[in-house]
Structure 1
């Protein structure tokens, strides 16, 4: 998704640098028009620094770790933080950035790699007016919809956690329903054709079921995302004294998928957990 955001911003006329611990996509981005220069060389001239990393730990490491970004940014620059993190963590990052004279926009994203690449993301953002104003030129080129959810960090991450609860549960429910249907003679193809036109459908079902049908688990969104994101949901729920049993059950299924060695593949592969338990053969697998 980070690559897609960088490409969309570049296409929108911005001067964009792309950095990644994996040098291959960073090199490819420069070949496609991304600006040259090391982060150390360019950081003090940045207007917006967009972080698209896995989790809170990586966010904190980039901003305040051994090679900290925030001290290198100019006063008034904005950090647009896109990872799914607990709301309290987002508030803490906002406070620490503010002490350095840097704005912070709590800006989790939804839409996957495809919408990132097309500039059609949904962004659930919260932060002060100055942060929105500083980030606006980029927001306008990378997102189709920007929800402004509050004037400080936290509400954006709270909304993203709510979205991830539903998204993670819906993928697991798709996998359960598809494989349940197979036990009754319903083919995956028939399942998608009928359910996508019925009350039981969901966006995740319509998006992920074709991956199972095609036997294609190229990671558009990997299994590994869900132990993290649903874990965040349960952490927030525990702090709130809220019981989330459906989330916990879905999380357990993703945990089993990771144990099966499926962490790095597409999250539709959670269907393989159900298939193994029921002795089913999914499309693309050997009999």
Structure 2
């Protein structure tokens, strides 16, 4: 080894080599971790789709207790995750963590109240996927095998947390799905009911994208940003609407790229491998 251990430590401990890429440890609760997030998502799936993702045998006479136990376990884990998310955010701003465990528990309870809505939307996504693919044999096959459903479970959950203002956690949840499926959906995107993606790999849906009802995408579709206005220092201005608005009943075929805050009108069809940077009227077909 060319450098002695003490020499390496001397180099590595220099503040300019790690700041802000090292956690300072100000908050004893740490940061959200993937083990907790994985456990949380497994409980979500077990609650929303009993028998598909749970290890227990589901019996009619014990189903209520099954749901109660899983809901309580899920709430406990989510409360911890939300609290760590807020502590992470406060530490970024060099503030003391202002959100207590009690406040995080309240947010966790409010999230649980959205589970019926999440389930309703996911069932519509499953139905759209099943009806839209002649190769699918059953709804159960769609739930277990189709990457879009894994991605949408993560997205629908993350989106509710995102709307509640929970820091970092929603993005971590959707990035878990990105790693699993190759489908990249930002939790800030607005997606209507009966949404599906055929195959799925390589799809990108940006933070400020708005998608209506009954929309179908194919693999490789990008709903992205075209360019970024810059501030006085030459850095991109964050938080502005910069992604497409897609109307109801739109189909976008494989590897289409749609960029900027443009509108794709209802019932439009965007052909494969197209490059779209202008508004598309309702009922129009865009082909190469």
Give 1 or 2: higher helix fraction.
Answer: 1
- Give the TM-score range, shorter chain: under 0.3
Higher gyration radius (CA): 2
Q: Which has the higher contact order (CA 8 A, sep 6+)?
A: 1
Structure 1 length-normalised TM = 0.27
TM-score by length of 2: 0.26
